[in-house]
Structure 1
């Protein structure tokens, strides 16, 4: 059996490791454009900010490790064309420009995603850079050493982490986004306002609710970002405006969402029985809405890649779907979210209610304690929990993992009030704050 794997970051690495173990007689070939595998792009801000000193620590596997498993690693090879009907693949060696054709019995599409690059005047000016892979990370660090004024465009997780890193680094930072607030896809306003206040107090210029229209500069280098509301000086611009699935190679050959994300079933199979997909290249079942959605997260990718291997020959283990659970640490604040926000629920046409509680993490008779803010989102009729967010200076983010399990198992907000949680004054109160949210919902 010949297995072709296209792309090898998180989903690809997980798939390959497991396939090499499960199918030792198979001929597994990986085609990867880069010279590395398994880069944790979520660590770029930590690397830029100096928290991570050695970038090699952001890799958890290597081409050599996979070779030692018997995998044929074609690094720096670009796939030019795939014919799923004929089961052929056309490839170019980037270093030699040699082109050749190969065949496959099973195809695994783990091509991931690529940053969205807006088609704007001045986009080709020097010092306008992306933040996705290992090369980008090193590029940002080198350019940031000389930069004085940095503009970060896109107020998602990567953007806000880079803003923090640059501010701590002593740079003048402008934060630009088309939404009216930061992190709008992950947190509701009462949470994002806390982070925005912190950023503003530290001198970060927030330029929200405005879109970039062009870039200006001289001598080929960027000097200014022009938006619908103003202009901002910048000698370094980081683009973090989102990602799109990298799936053009099989466009029209398997079913996709409108944005190009490959639709897979619970066994990671595409509409073609011999083509599997995992990671940022595909859409996944989103439990809160009970529909497929595009949620590019490394956690989703490694689970899906592992399941590709388990289900390659026959349907064996079902994917349980995702809640899009994620966490973030900015300055002194720990925050996390799972499922839909109240804001997002309205876009999905969901009829929801919410409960927000502010509580101390442990009894007030203890020498220290910290405030916790938790918000729970649930369907009004079924009372099914569909989302949650938490923020605190003490780390209670694991509570969001608990609520992720609740969503996955269709638990109601009323049931949450009586779940068995331990009590110990060093850690919490007699009524855990998750219980308290459920109990408060009983009267709503």
Structure 2
């Protein structure tokens, strides 16, 4: 059996390592246009902020390690075309310029995503920087050394983490987003108000509810960001406005969402039975809405890549879908969410009810307690849980993992109200905060 894998970041690395173990007699070839694999882009802000001193520590696998597994690792090889009818790929060696045509029995497409780059005046100016891969991480750190004023465009997780890192470096930081709240995809207003207050207290300038229309420069380098509501002088701009799937190779050959995300079944098979796909190039089954959606997360990617290997020959292990569960630490705030926010549920036409509670995380007789803010979102008719958010100086983010399981299993607020959770004064109260929220909902 001849297997070709296109792209080798999270999903590709997971698929390759598992396939090498499960199919030792297979001929596995990886084509990767970069000279690295498995880069954890979620660690770029940690590197910028000095928490991770060496950017090379953000890799968890190397081409040499894959080669030791018997995998033919073709680094700096760019796949130019795929013909699923002929089962061929056309590839260019970026070092030599030579092209070759290879054949496969099974094709695994883990081509990932790429930052959205708006077509704006001045986008080509020096110091307008993307934030995705290894080279971006090195460039951001190098450019930041010579920048006093830094502007981050995009108030999602990556943008917020970079803002914190730059502020702690002593930079003058501006955060721009076209939404009127930060982290609006993950959190409802009661939570984003706390985040915005924390950023403002640290001196971060919030420029929300406005759209970037261009960049102006001096001597070829960016000098200001122009928006629909004012301009902002800057020395460095980091664009964090989202990602798009890298799927042009399969356009018109397999089923996709309108944005180009590849559709797969529960066994990671595309509409072509010999073509599998995983990671940021794919749509995922989103359990809260019970439909496919584009949610590029490393956690989704490694699960999907592993499932590709398990199901390559025989459908064996089904993908259980995702809740888009995620978390972030901002200064001393621990924040996490899963499923739909209240606003997202309403936008999807779901009639929901919510409960928001704020209480101490442990009994009052304990010498140190922290406030915890928790919100659950549930279907008004069925009581089915579809979303949750938590924020606290105490690390209660694992409660969101628990609620992710509840959503995945279709649990109701009534069931959550009486789930068995332990009590110990060092950790919680006799009624766990999750029980309390559900009981209030009842």
Spell out the pairing of 1:16-415 with structure 2 (5 A cutoff).
16-415=16-415
Cα shift readout 1:32-66 (whole Å, capped 9, x = no counterpart): 01111111100000000000112222111110000
Residues in 1 aligned to 2:93 and 2:309: alpha-carbon distance in whole angstroms: 27
Question: 2:434: which partner in 1?
Answer: 434
Residues in 1 aligned to 2:266 and 2:117: alpha-carbon distance in whole angstroms: 32
The SS at the match of 1:199 is helix
Cα shift readout 1:13-34 (whole Å, capped 9, x = no counterpart): 0000000011111110000011
Residues in 2 aligned to 1:296 and 1:235: alpha-carbon distance in whole angstroms: 30
Deviation at 1:350, TM superposition (A): 1.2
Return structure 1 stretches of 4+ with deviation > 2 angstroms: none
Residues in 1 aligned to 2:342 and 2:208: alpha-carbon distance in whole angstroms: 20
Residues in 1 aligned to 2:370 and 2:337: alpha-carbon distance in whole angstroms: 19
Residues in 2 aligned to 1:151 and 1:425: alpha-carbon distance in whole angstroms: 44
Residues in 2 aligned to 1:219 and 1:71: alpha-carbon distance in whole angstroms: 47
Question: 1:425: which partner in 2?
Answer: 425
Segments of structure 1 that go 5 or more residues without pairing to the other structure are: none
Residues in 2 aligned to 1:25 and 1:129: alpha-carbon distance in whole angstroms: 44
Deviation at 1:348, TM superposition (A): 1.4
The SS at the match of 1:35 is coil
Deviation at 1:405, TM superposition (A): 0.3
Cα shift readout 1:317-364 (whole Å, capped 9, x = no counterpart): 000000000010000100000000001111211111100011111000
Residues in 2 aligned to 1:92 and 1:352: alpha-carbon distance in whole angstroms: 52
Larger deviation, residues 343-352 vs 6-15: 343-352
The SS at the match of 2:145 is helix
Residues in 2 aligned to 1:171 and 1:56: alpha-carbon distance in whole angstroms: 24
Residues in 2 aligned to 1:81 and 1:350: alpha-carbon distance in whole angstroms: 42
Residues in 2 aligned to 1:107 and 1:178: alpha-carbon distance in whole angstroms: 39
Question: 1:2: which partner in 2?
Answer: 2
User: TM-score, normalised on structure 1?
Assistant: 0.99
Residues in 2 aligned to 1:346 and 1:83: alpha-carbon distance in whole angstroms: 42
Cα shift readout 1:172-195 (whole Å, capped 9, x = no counterpart): 011000101110101111101101
Residues in 1 aligned to 2:203 and 2:262: alpha-carbon distance in whole angstroms: 42
Residues in 2 aligned to 1:97 and 1:185: alpha-carbon distance in whole angstroms: 43
Residues in 2 aligned to 1:2 and 1:77: alpha-carbon distance in whole angstroms: 18
The SS at the match of 1:175 is strand
The SS at the match of 2:424 is coil
The SS at the match of 1:195 is helix
User: TM-score, normalised on structure 2?
Assistant: 1.00
Deviation at 1:393, TM superposition (A): 0.3
Residues in 1 aligned to 2:214 and 2:306: alpha-carbon distance in whole angstroms: 42
Residues in 1 aligned to 2:113 and 2:345: alpha-carbon distance in whole angstroms: 25
The SS at the match of 2:137 is helix
Segments of structure 2 that go 5 or more residues without pairing to the other structure are: none
Name the Cα RMSD after superposition.
0.5
Residues in 2 aligned to 1:299 and 1:228: alpha-carbon distance in whole angstroms: 36
Residues in 2 aligned to 1:349 and 1:269: alpha-carbon distance in whole angstroms: 30
Residues in 2 aligned to 1:422 and 1:56: alpha-carbon distance in whole angstroms: 41
